[in-house]
Structure formats: C-alpha cells, structure tokens
A and B are shown apart, each in its own frame.
Chain A
Amino acid sequence: MALIIDLKPGEKILIGTAVMTNDNQRTRLHISGDTPILREKDIMQESEATSPSRKIYFLLQCMYLARNPRDYHAKYFTLMKMIQDAAPSTAIFCMKINAQLVQGHYYKALREARDLIAHEDELIQSASASQH
C-alpha cells in the first residue's frame, strides 16, 4: 500500500538519499517501497541533539537512514544504558522504542522517541520548578 504524503508549498522531504523540495503549491505524493522517508519536521541535525533523549532520536534517525543500522547499535545501547542509569523512569520509553526496533520499524521508533524527549523535558521542568 502506498504511503500518501501531503506537502506544503516549499516543504522539503527526504526520500532515501534524495532531498525533494516542493514548489509553491500543495502536492500529494504516493510513495511505494520501503525506502526511508523523513519530512522536514522529523529531521534533526546533530547540532540540535542537545540532550540525551535528543541524541537517542538522532541516533534512531541515523539508523533509519543507514544501509546497515547495526553499525549504530553499540552507540545506541551505550547511550540508552547511560540514560536509564541516570533516569530510570525513562525505561518504559526505552522499552517501547526497542520494541519497534526489534521489528525493524525505525520510523515508529522515532515517534516513540518523541515521547522520551517530552518526558525528559517535563522532568527537567518539574525539577527546575521545585528548586524555585
């Protein structure tokens, strides 16, 4: 079944290793196959991976784009272990991400990683608030 993506005018999308930029009107794409697809709003540059959870998101994105995702497993597990040791409440999110990765669903794992980032942000906000 083809994936349907609506692009806003001027929106960029990554399909495989190609970057496509939409012209100045809305476009609907029907995409078949299992090549990595990332919309502009999904893409994180390494400079934006400023917290441990964001680094996990970035690593997942790299796995998704990589021909051999296994190359990233060591980095991923090292960092994931460090995050879980630092904040054990993240374990639930780590397990949910891993459950997707076990099935090779990298895009779904990225979506789960957004919850991890949100959890991390809320934890830090709550801790900051309780200090003031």
Chain B
Amino acid sequence: MSLVVTSPLQKCLPTITPTVTPQNWERLISSFIAQRQDETVALIGRIDKNILILENQKERSNILIGILEEAGGLTVRARNLMTTAEDAEKYELKIKEFEDWFKLTQKKFDKATEESSFDGINLMNGDTLVTSFDSKGLNKLVTEGLVLTCESLGIRTPDFSTTFTLQNARIDVMNAIDIVVTVRNIIAGHISNLTISRDFAIQSNEMAKDSITTLVHSTLESEMAGLQKLTETGNQFLNGEPLADQAQQDILDSFAESPMMEDI
C-alpha cells in the first residue's frame, strides 16, 4: 500500500502523518475501520433487541385498543336499548348488565396495561426505551411511553342510567382509543426508523469488511485510475438514469429556477 496522506484523512486520523510508514498507514486505517465495525456490530445488537421490545409493545397497544373497542361496543349496545323512554325502562336490567361489563373491561384494561412489560420495559405504563446509536449514548432514539390506565386516560366510572351519562362513557372511551392509537403510531414509527438504521448498518458493515481486504493492494496510482474510470463511466451503474428521483429533482429545479433578488 502506498497512499497519499490527504488533509481530510489526517483530520480523521491525526496519528497519520506523511512520515508514518506505509505499513503503519495500513495498520492505522484498518484498525480505525475495524473499530467502527465493532461499534456497528454492537449497535445492530442494540437495535435488534429494541426492535423486539417495540414489536411486543406495539402488539400490547393493539390489545389495549381491542379492550377499549369492546368497552365502546357496550356503550353502543346500551344506547340501542335506550332509543325511547319505554325501551330504557323495559331493558333497564340489560342496560345495567352492560354497565357492569363496562366496569369489567376497565379492570381488564388496567390489568393488561400492568402486564405489558417485556424485557423490563413497559411503555404502556410510562416507561422509556432508549436506543443509543453510539457507545457513549450521545446520539439516541428515545421512545417515551405513556401511563395508559383508565384513570390516567380519564375514563370515568360508567353510569348508563341516562343517554347523557352513557354518552360520557362513550366519549371517554373514544378519547382513550385516540391516545392509545397515537402511542401505537409512535412505536410503529420508531420500529420503522430502527429497521432502516439496522439495514443500513448491516450493509455498511459488509462494505467495511471488503474495504479492509482491498486496502493492502491499494496504491496512489491504482486509486486515481479507479476514480477516474468511475468518473468517466458516469451513471452507467444506473444504466444512464439520473441519480435523483422526480420528486427531489423537482425541488432542486425549483431552487435553481427561483429568481435571485437582483433579478426581481
């Protein structure tokens, strides 16, 4: 290996100086890449673990939404028996039964929330999951949970005695569903972000593996020849297609076309 110590290279690896022997360059660069590889492998491990937790928590939020929908269904069934004052009186016992079932779903909901812990994390109970992208934890994705109990969601003790109080129960449940759905969407968004990061990290590591093996055979001349050849071939690797997709090209075009102030 015989390389030129460029200023950006020196910025990355201050230990590289023009006086360092080529063998040492190779060692320094390889060890830098190997260290980054190790960090990436550790990162992939952390991401995988947290994706698993988030997948579980998303499933738990679905369970909670199911329970709330069950409670909402009870309010609808009760309302259907209260369309007239006569009906309300006639079905009073049945309506009371629905109210009791509603109370049971509240208990079921709180129990499900309490039992949603996975690997020590319960986002349904206000825990926070942190995915650190570096070993020092300086860059991280924080998934903040929310306390999803009937009390914290504002679901009051049901009262199915009048259509007005019944409607309150229904409103409480609908509001609670909105909140839990939001939590689920946040979790799903973070799963998606972490999956992209993981795929990217895996591909990045594969590439790094190859680079360590090719580094030893590299010379200044071979690198220049390689880069010039790539420059000449242009976008052949895309069969001559442009690099930008239409949507991004449109944005760049609008930037290029927007007038300069002196032209206005």
Residues of A within 8 A of B (CB): 9-10, 12, 14, 17, 19, 21-24, 43, 45-46, 49-52, 55, 58-59, 61-62, 65-67, 69-73, 75, 77-89, 91-96, 98-99, 101-105, 115-116, 118-120, 122-124, 126-128, 130
Give me the 3 closest cross-chain CB pairs, A-B, nearest first: A86-B226, A127-B224, A91-B211
Residues of B within 8 A of A71 (CB): 245
Are A21 and B260 CB-contacts (below 8 A) given A94-B211, A102-B200?
A: yes
Query: A62 contacts B248, CB within 8 Å?
Result: yes
- Chain A residues with CB under 8 A of B164: none
Report if B136 contacts A (CB, 8 A): no
Docked pose: A44 CA to B248 CA in angstroms = 12
Given contacts A21-B261, A98-B204, A99-B204, 12 further A-B contacts (CB under 8 A): A12-B258, A17-B251, A21-B258, A46-B249, A52-B230, A81-B207, A93-B8, A98-B200, A101-B200, A102-B197, A115-B11, A124-B228
A28 to B238, CA, bound (A): 41
Given contacts A46-B244, A73-B203, A102-B200, contact A79 B237 (CB under 8 A): yes
Q: Known A22-B261, A83-B227, A86-B230; judge A45-B7 contact (CB<8 A).
A: no
- Determine the interface band of chain B, counting residues with CB < 8 A from chain A: 35 or more
Report the Cα distance A72→B227, complex, angstroms. Answer: 22
Known pairs A46-B252, A84-B214; A124 contacts B224 (CB<8 A): yes
Least CB separation from A9: chain B residue: B261
A66 to B252, CA, bound (A): 12
B252 & A89 in contact (Cβ 8 Å cutoff): no
Which residues on the B side are within 8 Å of A123 (C-beta)? Answer: 4, 6, 220, 223-224, 227
| Least Cβ–Cβ distance between B192 and chain A, in angstroms | 9
A75 touches B238 (CB 8 A): yes
Report the separation of the CA atoms of residues A14 and B251 in the bound assembly, to the nearest whole angstrom: 9
Which residues between 1 and 27 of chain B lie within 8 Å of chain A, taking CB atoms?
A: 3-4, 6-9, 11-13
- Say yes or no: is B93 at the interface (Cβ < 8 Å to chain A): no
Residues of B within 8 A of A (CB): 3-4, 6-9, 11-13, 29, 32-33, 36, 40, 43, 133, 139, 193, 196-197, 199-201, 203-204, 207-208, 210-212, 214-215, 217-218, 220-221, 223-224, 226-231, 235, 237-238, 242-245, 247-249, 251-252, 254-256, 258-262, 264
> Are A23 and B261 neighbours in the complex by a CB distance under 8 Å?
yes
Answer whether A119 and B6 are a contact pair too, CB < 8 Å, given A75-B238, A84-B210. yes
Tell me whether A59 and B133 are in contact (CB under 8 A): no
Closest chain A residue, CB of each to CB of B235: A55
* CB–CB B249/A91 < 8 A: no
- Bound state CA distance, A59 and B206, in angstroms? 20
Q: Could you jot down 23 A-B contacts, CB within 8 Å?
A: A14-B251, A45-B256, A46-B243, A51-B230, A55-B235, A59-B243, A75-B238, A75-B243, A80-B207, A84-B210, A85-B214, A91-B29, A91-B33, A91-B207, A91-B211, A92-B13, A92-B33, A93-B12, A95-B208, A99-B204, A102-B197, A118-B6, A122-B7
